[in-house]
């Protein structure tokens, strides 16, 4: 059984040995302030990230407001993952993940609980 974990990009850059198995960058945009050679990763399936519109909607507010929006964000993002290109990219990610004991989803957000990687991890676990 594959274990799916999430980890901040900043933590991974500081200690890449702390990431086991398949390292997957799950942001649509390259993380700000990180040199490409400083971020070891195996995959970067941009299509599994939230759409630009959804990402901008979620990040348009700060703090408690963003936390309050998270459930709606999670529902919208889950719906995006259910069809079209994001669904195919998620299925491909699941195929890759089945080959590893551990998959680490790397994300740049500061909030480690209320971010798209948490939603994606749940969706990926359901497919595995």
Quote the CA–CA distance of 27 and 24 in Å, as a whole number.
Answer: 9
pTM for the complete prediction?
0.94
The tokens 């959804």 sit on which residue?
A: 54
| 3 state SS of 18 | helix
pLDDT 10s digits, 43-81: 999 999 999 999 999 999 999 999 999 999 999 999 999
pLDDT 10s digits, 21-49: 999 999 999 999 999 999 999 999 999 99
Asked if 48 and 86 touch (Cβ cutoff 8 Å), the reply is yes
Give the pLDDT of residue 18. 80
Quote the CA–CA distance of 4 and 50 in Å, as a whole number.
Answer: 19
Helix locations, 1-127, DSSP H = 9-14, 52-58, 63-81, 84-97, 116-127
């Amino acid at each position: 059984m594959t274990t799916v974990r999430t980890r901040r990009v900043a933590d991974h850059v500081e200690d890449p040995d702390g990431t086991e198995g398949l390292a997957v960058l799950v942001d649509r945009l390259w993380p700000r302030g990180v040199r490409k050679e400083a971020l070891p990763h195996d995959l970067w399936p941009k299509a599994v990230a939230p759409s630009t519109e959804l990402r901008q909607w979620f990040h348009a507010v700060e703090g408690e407001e963003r936390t309050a929006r998270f459930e709606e964000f999670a529902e919208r993002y889950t719906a995006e993952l259910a069809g079209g290109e994001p669904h195919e990219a998620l299925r491909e990610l699941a195929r890759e993940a089945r080959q590893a004991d551990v998959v680490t989803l790397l994300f740049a957000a500061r909030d480690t609980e209320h971010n798209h990687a948490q939603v994606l991890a749940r969706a990926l676990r359901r497919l595995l």
